[in-house]
Structure formats: structure tokens, C-alpha cells
Structure 1
Amino acid sequence: MASVEVRRYRDEDAEVVKEIFTMGMSEHIPSSFMHFLKQPPTQMVLMCVFCALMTSSKSFLFPILAVTLLLAGARQFVVYIFNKYIDASLKQDLNDISETYMQKKDSCFWVAEVDGRVVGMVACLPNDNAPACLELKRMSVRRSHRGMGVAKALCRTVADFTRDRGYAAVVLHTSVVQTDAQKLYEHMGYEKRREFVLPELAAKITNFTLFEYRLDLQK
């Protein structure tokens, strides 16, 4: 297995970090679309549209085409939501990582290298809602380097950083469609504390649930 080196972020890592984040988030579009299709309201709307058009048009092809167009529109809606989130994240912190993470107290940003190539990233900073905790953020690993211990090394780095600064725990948030991330965090000792849907209309429409995990460091 290749050796994984975790080091602090440098300004020359900016573009590759943005690339890894963008690609990692974009990977969740298909699973998010499937999650949307599995919701009972979505299935009910599609069925009602199909039955109504079938009854009124006396045609089998027209309802199928209409439902197909609805599905295509729904997928584009999911793509739009993810692109909007990616753009907002870049503007909020990833366009100036040094300012957001490297120059503030109890905050940091790391990248993981394999054979000299940056293949993963993670950050942490104080959590506004839990003063005794640091929050793990922006975890992402290139698809080509998953299963090599990169994510585990990044998780351990955040835990060590948090412990060294005297905080009691690490908290993080992940989504219902990020099943691999959930398994990783649970394997690393994180416990799921709560589930919630964001107040944004798009999240409510798609029932896009977030999970809050916590790793207590004083056990």
C-alpha cells in the first residue's frame, strides 16, 4: 500500500483542492437524484401525472414522454442545487483557505499526498453551536485513491489536532446520500447524534437529511 503523507495546506495547493472538492461533491448527484425519486411525494406526483395524461389523451406514448421530461427536469434541478452549493462553498471559504483556516485560532486545513500528488483534503475550525468542539469540514478524497487509508489518516489528523488544543470532541455533518462517509466515520468511532432537514425549500422538497456525528476524545 502506498504511503500517505498528511501535511498542512500551502497556497500552491489552492487549485487542486478546489478540483478535489468539486469532483467529490459532483459524485453525489446520481445518488441524490435516486434519493429524490424514492420519496413518496415524488412517486405520487409522477403516478398522478401519468394516470391523468393516460386518461385524457387515450395514448400510452404521450404520458411516457411527459414523465420522462419531468424526470429530466428533476435531475437538472438536483444538478442545479449541487452546483449552487459548490459555488457557495468556493466563495465562502475555499477561495481563501489561508484566511479562513490557516490564520485563525484553532483552525487548520490539511492535504494528503500519495507519491507526491495531492489526493485528499480536510479542515477543522471551532463549532459555533458547540464551544467545546471543533468541527471537521471539507473532507474529500480522489476516487482513484479511496480504500488506501487516506480518509482515515485525515480523520486521525483532525482528532489529534482537536485533542492537542484541549477540545472535548470533534463534530461533523454528512448527508443521507454519503453512505461511504457514514461508514467511515462510524468505523473511526464517531456516533450519530441527530438527523435534520435544512430549512431551505430545496432540501424540504427532496427530504435531503443531514446527520450530525460526534467523536468524544475523553473516553
Structure 2
Amino acid sequence: MANIQIRRYQGEDAESVKEVFTLGMSEHVPSSFVHILKQPLTQMVLMVTFCALMTSSKSFLLPILAVTLLLAGARQMVVYMFNSYIDTSLRRDLDDIGEAYLKQKDSCFWVAESDGRVVGTVACLPAEKAPGCLELKRMSVRRSHRGLGIAKALCRTVAEFTRDRGYAAVVLYTSVVQTDAQRLYEHMGYQKIREFVIPELVAKIMNFTLFEYRLDLQPGGERD
């Protein structure tokens, strides 16, 4: 990783971190839209709408227009869900990273820097639902710097921090549409231990599943 430095977050990194996070999350809108199109409920609604209007109107134009509007509405629903999550995150922990991650000894926030530019982020803090574990959060790498081993280095940074603090494991959550992230974590030795659907109505309609992963910090438990 030439010219890449993993270091602790500093106050002047705030806007760059928010940008990396926002861009990274926004990338998942297209794959999430494809995900919702694959759902049986979506396909049934589109088919029933098309057939009903085709039968009643005897015209191709009206059913095609109606299906187009439904697809546009579905995409806007996906955009709304991601924008809501981004806005909530920017108002909460990412609004004051120092307060959220740097005041306690068992939490931290790191950035990956390349030629003076923040190109990746990761954080960890004690997991609320997994006593004795730290939770990996806010993992993101700029598209322009992927494939350079930055994400793996950030994962190792969290694992080393967790081990040094005496915790037994690292846990994290990722979504069904984040397939690259799933491959990365599994390559790093994480095991998928649970699947669940987000309780919000929009997520339920989309069947938007989250995966919980766990990395037990034992000799040989982490891969390079």
C-alpha cells in the first residue's frame, strides 16, 4: 500500500470523513433497487397492475405508464431509505466523532490517508448487543482507492485494537446488498452468525436483510 497511512482521526478530518461515508452509502442505491425488483411481492404488484390495466383499457400505453410510475416510486423509496440513514448518521456519531469514539479507551476512529487525502475510514466501540465484544463500524473506502488492501488494513487495525483491549471478538453488521463487504469480511475470517430484517416498514417491504458477522480473536482466527 504505497503512500497509505492508517492513523487516528483528527478534528480536521471531519468533512472528509462525512464525504467518504456519504459517497460510500449512496453507492448502494442501484443494487438495492435491483434487490427490490427481485422480490416476489414487487413482481406480483407490477404484473397485476399491468394485466388489470391492459384488460380494462385495451391499450398498451396506460399499463406501461403505470408500471413505469411504480418503478420510479420504488426507486424513490430506496433513495429515501438511504438518505434517511445517511442524515441520521451525520447528525449522530459522525457529527462529533471525538465525542462518540475518542473519549473512551475502548473505542476509536481511524482514517486511511493517501497523499494527504482521507480515502478510508473505520471505527469501533463496545457492542451494545454482544457483551465482551467490540463492534466494527463506519468502514468505507473511496472507490478510487479500492483494490489496494486498504479495507483489509483497516480490518486488521480494529482486530489488533480489540485484542489489545482484552476483548474476545469483533462483531459487525452489513446488508444483503453489500456483497463486496461480505466477501471482504469472510476473507478476513469473520463468520456470519445471524440474519434479520430491519424493523422499519420500508425495509420490511423491501425484505432488506442485515447480516451479523463475528471474528473471534484467537490464534489463527484472522487472515491476512
Shorter-chain TM range is over 0.9
Residue number in structure 2 paired with 1:12: 12
Q: Distance in 2 between matches of 1:62 and 1:97?
A: 51
Alignment deviations for residues 108-165 of structure 1 (CA, whole Å, 9 cap, x no partner): 0000012222100000000011111000000000000000011001000000000000
Query: For this pair of structures, how many residues does the alignment match?
Result: 219
Residue number in structure 2 paired with 1:129: 129
Residue number in structure 1 paired with 2:222: none
User: After superposition, where does 1:54-203 map in structure 2 within 5 Å?
Assistant: 54-203=54-203
Q: Distance in 2 between matches of 1:12 and 1:92?
A: 18
Q: Distance in 1 between matches of 2:50 and 2:143?
A: 38
Q: Distance in 1 between matches of 2:199 and 2:67?
A: 28
**2:52 matched to 1:52?**
yes
Q: Note if contact 2:77-2:202 (Cα within 8 Å) is conserved in structure 1.
A: no
Q: Note if contact 1:2-1:115 (Cα within 8 Å) is conserved in structure 2.
A: no
Q: Note if contact 2:134-2:171 (Cα within 8 Å) is conserved in structure 1.
A: yes
Q: Distance in 2 between matches of 1:93 and 1:117?
A: 21
| Local SS of the residue matching 1:211 | strand
Q: Note if contact 1:101-1:108 (Cα within 8 Å) is conserved in structure 2.
A: yes
Residue number in structure 2 paired with 1:39: 39
Q: Extract structure 1 runs of 4+ deviating beyond 3 A.
A: none
Unpaired runs of 5+ residues, structure 1, are: none
- TM-score when scaled to structure 2? 0.96
Q: Distance in 2 between matches of 1:67 and 1:25?
A: 27
Residue number in structure 2 paired with 1:216: 216
- TM-score when scaled to structure 1? 0.98
Q: CA RMSD in A?
A: 0.8
Q: Distance in 2 between matches of 1:106 and 1:119?
A: 24
Q: Distance in 2 between matches of 1:63 and 1:178?
A: 33
Alignment deviations for residues 58-108 of structure 1 (CA, whole Å, 9 cap, x no partner): 001110011001101110111011100000011110000000000123000
